[in-house]
Structure 1
Amino acid sequence: MLKRLIAWFLFDQTLNIRMPVEEEKTRLLEIFNSARLSAGCFTEDPLDLAEFSRRINGEVVHVAEIGGQIAGFVSVWEAQAFIHHLYVCPRFQGQGLGKALLQMCERRYGRPLSLKCICANRRALGFYRRNGWISKGSGSGVDGAWERLWLKSTRDEVE
């Protein structure tokens, strides 16, 4: 992590998490489609802008920007503190952006937080587990089996 921070500093790769503007939705769609393709476990065809817009409608979206370029995003169904989408552009993966987005969600929405992750997406499941998320349920959808993951409240962790 220190190496990443040094690299960001030396190359003016400042991390900024902010709300997007409407014109940036196309970039979010590009990240969504490329990250899902790169994961290699999603069966659905790439989305178009209309379908993507429908899927994030009513959610609060935050973008992770590095050196002025949007590199990832998270969308949250605020009423349930449910992370519906968390995607990082493949060329920026492994640089701490996903973790930074999760930490921002924890600060903004508190605990418990929850999300669903496709079981075939082993890299994502490992990422969430390394960051303290635990499995608490499962199901199946269009992309196959998924696990419901929780970042429990501190009180729950003590019990």
Structure 2
Amino acid sequence: MIKLWGLYLPDNFIHCLFVHPDYSRKGVGTALVDASIQKMNPPLRLKCVSKNDKALLFYKKKGWVQVVEEGPVSERYWLMEYQ
């Protein structure tokens, strides 16, 4: 079962989308992102930790674009956008 997670509908922003490692590469992340897209109106935005190469690649393959890298050096993240 998939539950809705941290969506902030007024800003079309996805908060706290995480997939447990046991469910990695099983379509769970795709299902969560697809459900988010259906619930909100583009453009959608989210933040992705800069060091999380797997997540960045996942989002890029799904059509998300890296807009700007922000945050202090120890906590850098990319603001990403989906049209």
- Whether the TM-score (by the shorter chain) exceeds 0.5 is yes
Structure 2 regions of 5+ residues with no counterpart?
none
* Residues in 2 aligned to 1:118 and 1:141: alpha-carbon distance in whole angstroms: 12
Paired position in structure 1 for 2:54: 123
* Residues in 2 aligned to 1:109 and 1:138: alpha-carbon distance in whole angstroms: 23
* Residues in 2 aligned to 1:139 and 1:112: alpha-carbon distance in whole angstroms: 19
| Identical aligned residues as a percent | 29
Residues matched between the structures, number: 83
Q: TM-score, normalised by structure 1?
A: 0.49
Pairing 1:99–2:30 present: yes
Moved beyond 4 Å, runs of 4+: none
In the TM superposition, 1:2-151 aligns within 5 A as 16-18=1-3, 62=4, 74-141=5-72, 143-151=74-82
Larger Rg: 1
Which letter does structure 1 place at the counterpart of 2:42? R
Greater share of helix residues, 1 or 2?
1
Task: Decide whether the 8 Å contact of 2:50 with 2:69 is kept in 1.
Answer: no
Q: TM-score, normalised by structure 2?
A: 0.89
Q: Which has the higher contact order (CA 8 A, sep 6+)?
A: 2
Report the RMSD for the aligned CA atoms in angstroms.
1.5
* Residues in 2 aligned to 1:92 and 1:143: alpha-carbon distance in whole angstroms: 28
